[in-house]
């Protein structure tokens, strides 16, 4: 029966064990429970998967209360730690971002993913502005007495000017600054090249997160390169939607239901995914789901 702080410490420890750990990104209660039942030691939310499941595109168009409520529902059904993707923090300045992260902590999350691009303009924030947000979040977590794990994402590989080498240098520069401001892990969005990963890990000398996408080296190679955290990102939601698209086409074009039925879980199994695991019954600090 772990407290929220104990879950945070457990999650933090995963970033410092030998070799990488795989962090699946869920978009609702049943997907999170599927991952927990499979044996993953922690779960994260996928901003894209979660928001689209609620009828909003990825970004910050989903109302704050709805994101907080979704995180609370998921956290309340898990016994393992949950990290929440808060996009760019849902705030124009550090105080507003910290207040929102406080609501995410109240919902039961013990980690966050914070990105450095404006969801509307797709432009990178100034490093100084991002550092103020990170420091404000660290101060909030310290006041709360929760060892929050902050994963600082940079989109410099896509959004910074220049050739690929220049964008990699900018991603490293930003990640070093975020680390020094209090980030526990850094996340260079889009980094898949083995040589570039090795350079990034060497320069950062702290836990590095990479995301599952085409071209990413296999787990054994990532371990050799020194990666500590491998997240699914939206890959699992892509896969689930891809399955539904394929089976829909199979039914309409071929009249076969095999793809829909093969490997499917039962009604009992589906219902079980809505209930907390037995191990999580009575977990200290489990939050209630916020009202409207």
What would the pLDDT profile of 159-180 be if each residue is shown by its tens digit?
A: 999 999 999 999 999 999 999 9
Is 116 within 8 Å of 170 (Cβ atoms)?
no
Is 195 within 8 Å of 203 (Cβ atoms)?
no
Residue 24 has pLDDT above 80, yes or no: yes
The pLDDT > 90 percentage for the chain reads: 93
Give me the residue label for tokens 């590989």: 157
Give me the residue label for tokens 């991002």: 130
Whether the model clears a pTM of 0.85, i.e. scores above it, the answer is yes
- How far is residue 30's CA from residue 74's CA, in Å, rounded to a whole number? 8
- Torsion angle in degrees (nearest 10) through CA of 153, 157, 162, 166: 80
Q: Which of 122-136, 236-250, 278-292 has the lowest mean pLDDT?
A: 278-292
Quick one: pLDDT band at residue 278, thresholds 50, 70, 90?
A: low
- How far is residue 141's CA from residue 290's CA, in Å, rounded to a whole number? 21
pLDDT of residue 289: 38
Residue among 219, 178, 220 at smallest CA distance from 200: 178
- How far is residue 73's CA from residue 275's CA, in Å, rounded to a whole number? 11
Residue 124 has pLDDT above 80, yes or no: yes
Q: Which fold has domain 4-280?
A: TIM Barrel (3.20.20)
Q: How many residues does the chain have?
A: 292
Is the Cα torsion angle 217, 182, 48, 31 positive or negative in sign? Answer: positive
Quick one: pLDDT band at residue 34, thresholds 50, 70, 90?
A: very high
Q: What's the chain's average pLDDT?
A: 94
In this predicted model, what pLDDT tens digit does every residue of 79-114 receive, in sequence order? Answer: 999 999 999 999 999 999 999 999 999 999 999 999
Domain ranges of the chain: 4-280
For residue 274, give the DSSP letter.
T
Q: Which two tokens stand for residue 135?
A: 């420091």
pLDDT of residue 1: 73
- How far is residue 180's CA from residue 189's CA, in Å, rounded to a whole number? 19
Residue 279 has pLDDT above 70, yes or no: no
């Amino acid at each position: 029966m772990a407290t929220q702080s104990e879950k945070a410490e457990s999650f933090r420890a995963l970033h410092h064990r030998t070799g990488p750990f795989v962090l699946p990104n869920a978009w609702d209660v049943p997907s999170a429970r599927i991952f927990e039942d499979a044996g993953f030691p922690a779960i994260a939310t996928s901003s894209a998967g979660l928001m689209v499941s609620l009828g909003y595109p990825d970004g910050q168009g989903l109302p704050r209360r709805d994101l907080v409520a979704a995180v609370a529902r998921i956290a309340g059904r898990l016994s393992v730690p949950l990290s929440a993707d808060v996009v760019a923090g849902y705030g124009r300045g550090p105080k507003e971002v910290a207040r929102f992260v406080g609501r995410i902590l109240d919902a039961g999350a013990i980690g966050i993913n914070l990105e450095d691009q404006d969801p509307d303009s797709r432009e990178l924030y100034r490093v100084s502005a991002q550092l103020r947000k990170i420091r404000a979040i660290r101060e909030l977590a310290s006041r709360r007495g929760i060892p929050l794990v902050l994963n600082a994402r940079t989109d410099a590989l896509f959004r910074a000017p220049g050739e690929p080498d220049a964008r990699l240098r900018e991603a490293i520069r930003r990640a070093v600054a975020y680390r020094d401001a209090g980030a526990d892990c850094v996340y260079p969005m889009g980094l898949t090249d083995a040589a570039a990963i090795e350079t990034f890990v060497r320069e950062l000398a702290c836990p590095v997160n990479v995301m599952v996408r085409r071209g990413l080296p296999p787990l054994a190679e990532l371990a050799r390169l020194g990666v500590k955290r491998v997240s699914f990102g939206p890959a699992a939601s892509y896969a689930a939607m891809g399955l539904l698209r394929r089976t829909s086409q199979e039914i309409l074009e071929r009249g076969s239901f095999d793809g829909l039925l093969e490997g499917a879980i039962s009604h009992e199994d589906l219902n079980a995914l809505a209930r907390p695991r037995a191990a999580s019954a009575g977990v200290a600090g489990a939050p209630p789901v916020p009202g409207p």
